[in-house]
């Protein structure tokens, strides 16, 4: 950004010349980058075109810039070694994060396969929205999210997850974090403590703690959340992943679901159901949501597009119980929807045209194959020295070593050196000594053909 000071005795064109020159020398304007046209720069600076033209011409004459006919002005490639240190503006610390580390064998459970993204259909929907003349760029989204998207989601959730609601109960969010931020503000007048799964997804734990709630970790048994422990805690809110416990993978049986619902009724409590990867089930039929078992109850249903579509879009949704709608409108009536209108509209088209269902079918087939490849690779490399738990759904499995414990931190580091990324299981534990005989193996982000070799590297490192 350039700023001209009319109170300064230095001519305006010279001020601009100096500022551009300093940025070129400091490397802040990269070689061959294009400067704004004379006209645009003049508008930006509220200066005359002569001012900008004078600066550009002088910079060209001295070799800082070069011009290309009908294309504009570009930054010259100047060898930084040759720039005398006296000319350099003291370099500022570069605060940009480095490029994200990439691993050949990325076993992080939240990675999707880049091949699975339906680029062509999504691009068509985006382009259509860009071309349409219906105000995609001249207005805000509806605060709660576009009604068309909420209505489409309502059909989808009812059909596929047994969720029973109306579009006015659906709130479009930019991920679980933002959804839970809203929930935390919505419930803090009535609740003080939240039970979270242990091991469990770390985000809700941190989020509710940051909002001032007492967070009580509750253990996980073979059927998911330990309901006895929940009952003996004084909590009135429970955050759970009943259809695919994160990270251990248990499915909560219907008897436990009903017991949980009865706990909520008795306690006048609230259940937050995180149904993050329900679309991906490779064994048996999909399990219906908890919300569908008791739609009139105090259950907040959370869903996301991050697991089968893309985590990069930041698109998710939640279904609020009717009992919270009044407070939601009271507290959030002036809030704006955090998801760009363009993304919402493109998703409406994507779903309405049947691309979503088609994409789900493809993903299920594709990830089922990867899931199978992972189980086979584990069998081949670990044999009877490990057993797999939590398989049959989602994008990861958990490997439990039958003999011996792992130095987890050491293994994560050694695996990194061999090109394998592991997310430590201990990250999922609230406190205390983490289990160290478990490995979390995501298969979404590893190339199908690389799975056997990646798993073999891990088994060699462990043995
Ligand atoms: C249990 C669980 N819920 C939700 C999410 C993410 O949802 P979002 O990307 O919509 O924030 C994740 C991501 O890994 C997760 O593990």
Please provide residue 219's backbone torsions phi and psi, each rounded to the nearest 5 degrees. -65, 165
Q: Do 333 and 399 share a structural domain?
A: no
Distance 138 CA to ligand 1 centre (A): 31
Atom of ligand 1 lying closest to residue 109 CA: 14
Atom of ligand 1 lying closest to residue 200 CA: 1
User: Is a pLDDT exceeding 50 seen at residue 93?
Assistant: no
Distance 224 CA to ligand 1 centre (A): 18
Distance 132 CA to ligand 1 centre (A): 32
Among 180, 203, 442, the mutation site with the greatest number of ligand 1 atoms within 8 A of its Cβ is 203
Pairwise pLDDT comparison (265 vs 287), residue with the higher score? 265
Distance 306 CA to ligand 1 centre (A): 7
We report the CATH number of the domain holding residue 69 as: 1.10.10.10
Q: Do 260 and 173 share a structural domain?
A: yes
Return mean pLDDT, the chain: 91
Residue with CA at minimum distance from ligand 1 atom 6: 176
Residue with CA at minimum distance from ligand 1 atom 2: 276
Give me the pLDDT at residue 452, please.
97
Q: String of b and e for 239-252 (b: at least 16 CB within 10 Å)?
A: bbbbbbbbbbbbbb
Q: Do 370 and 318 share a structural domain?
A: no
We report the CATH number of the domain holding residue 281 as: 3.40.640.10
We report the CATH number of the domain holding residue 375 as: 3.90.1150.10
Q: Sign of the CA dihedral 160, 200, 220, 375?
A: positive
Between the ranges 60-74, 206-220, 271-285, 390-404, where is the mean pLDDT highest? 206-220
Q: Do 371 and 334 share a structural domain?
A: no
Among 106, 110, 176, 199, the mutation site with the greatest number of ligand 1 atoms within 8 A of its Cβ is 176
Q: Do 305 and 446 share a structural domain?
A: no
Pocket lining for ligand 1, CB < 6 angstroms: 110, 175-177, 201, 241, 246, 274, 276, 304, 306, 311, 316
Residue 332 CA: distances (Å) to CA of 186, 321, 337: 9, 16, 10
Q: Do 314 and 435 share a structural domain?
A: no
User: Is a pLDDT exceeding 70 seen at residue 432?
Assistant: no
User: Is a pLDDT exceeding 90 seen at residue 9?
Assistant: no
- pTM (2 d.p.): 0.82
Q: Do 409 and 374 share a structural domain?
A: yes
Atom of ligand 1 lying closest to residue 311 CA: 9
Distance 277 CA to ligand 1 centre (A): 8
Please provide residue 167's backbone torsions phi and psi, each rounded to the nearest 5 degrees. -55, -25
Lowest average pLDDT, out of 63-77, 201-215, 327-341, goes to: 63-77
In a domain, 286, yes or no: yes
Q: Do 333 and 386 share a structural domain?
A: no
Distance 382 CA to ligand 1 centre (A): 29
Distance 366 CA to ligand 1 centre (A): 21
Q: Do 326 and 429 share a structural domain?
A: no
Structural domain boundaries enclosing 394: 105-110+358-462
Q: Do 418 and 289 share a structural domain?
A: no
Atom of ligand 1 lying closest to residue 173 CA: 10
Secondary structure (DSSP) of 178-215: HHHHHHHHHHTTT--EEEEEES--HHHHHHHHHTT-EE
In a domain, 427, yes or no: yes
Lowest average pLDDT, out of 83-92, 174-183, 216-225, 331-340, goes to: 83-92
Distance 142 CA to ligand 1 centre (A): 24
Atom of ligand 1 lying closest to residue 274 CA: 3
In a domain, 127, yes or no: no
In a domain, 100, yes or no: no
Nearest to 397 by CA among 438, 447, 426, 365: 438
Give me the pLDDT at residue 100, please.
66
> Which regions of 132-269 does DSSP assign to beta strands (E)?
170-173, 193-198, 214-221, 224-225, 237-240
Q: Do 285 and 169 share a structural domain?
A: yes
- Tens digits of per-residue pLDDT, 207-236? 999 999 999 999 999 999 999 999 999 999
């Amino acid at each position: 950004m350039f700023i001209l000071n009319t109170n300064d005795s230095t001519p305006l064109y010279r001020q601009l010349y100096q500022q551009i020159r300093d940025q070129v020398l400091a490397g802040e304007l990269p070689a061959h980058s294009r400067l704004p046209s004379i006209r645009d720069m003049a508008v930006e600076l509220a200066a005359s075109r002569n001012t900008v033209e004078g600066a550009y011409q002088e910079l060209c004459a001295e070799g800082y810039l070069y011009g290309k006919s009908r294309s504009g002005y570009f930054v010259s490639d100047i060898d930084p070694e040759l720039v005398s240190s006296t000319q350099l503006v003291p370099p500022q610390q570069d605060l940009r994060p480095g490029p994200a580390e990439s691993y050949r064998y990325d076993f992080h459970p939240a990675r999707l396969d880049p091949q699975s993204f339906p680029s062509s259909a999504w691009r068509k929907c985006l382009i259509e929205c860009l071309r349409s003349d219906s105000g995609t760029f001249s207005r805000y989204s509806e605060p709660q999210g576009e009604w068309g998207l909420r209505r489409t989601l309502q059909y989808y959730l009812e059909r596929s997850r047994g969720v029973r609601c109306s579009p006015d109960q659906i709130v479009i969010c930019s991920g679980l974090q933002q959804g839970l931020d809203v929930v935390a503000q919505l419930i803090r007048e009535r609740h003080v403590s939240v039970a979270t799964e242990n091991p469990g997804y770390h985000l809700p734990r941190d989020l509710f703690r940051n909002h001032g709630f007492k967070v009580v970790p509750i253990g996980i048994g073979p059927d998911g959340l330990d309901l006895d422990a929940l009952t003996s805690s004084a909590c009135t809110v429970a955050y759970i992943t009943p259809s695919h416990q994160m990270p251990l993978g248990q499915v909560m049986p219907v008897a436990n679901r009903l017991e949980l619902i009865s706990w909520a009724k008795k306690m006048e409590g609230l259940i937050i159901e995180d149904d993050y990867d329900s679309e991906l089930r490779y064994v048996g039929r999909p399990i219906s949501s908890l919300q569908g078992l008791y739609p009139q109850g105090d259950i907040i249903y959370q869903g996301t597009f991050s697991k089968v579509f893309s985590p990069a879009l930041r698109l998710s949704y939640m279904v609020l119980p009717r009992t919270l709608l009044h407070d939601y409108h009271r507290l959030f009536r002036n809030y704006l929807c955090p998801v760009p209108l363009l993304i919402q509209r493109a998703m409406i088209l994507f779903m309405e045209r049947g691309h979503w269902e088609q994409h789900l079918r493809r993903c299920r087939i594709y990830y089922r194959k990867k899931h199978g490849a992972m189980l086979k690779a584990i069998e081949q490399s670990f044999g009877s020295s490990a057993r797999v738990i939590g398989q049959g759904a989602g994008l990861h499995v958990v490997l439990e070593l039958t003999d011996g414990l792992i130095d987890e931190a050491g293994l994560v580091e050694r695996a990194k050196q061999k090109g394998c990324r592991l997310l430590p299981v201990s990250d999922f534990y609230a406190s205390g000594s983490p289990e160290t005989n478990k490995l979390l193996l995501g298969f979404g982000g590893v190339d199908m053909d690389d799975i056997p070799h990646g798993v073999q590297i891990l088994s060699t490192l462990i043995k």
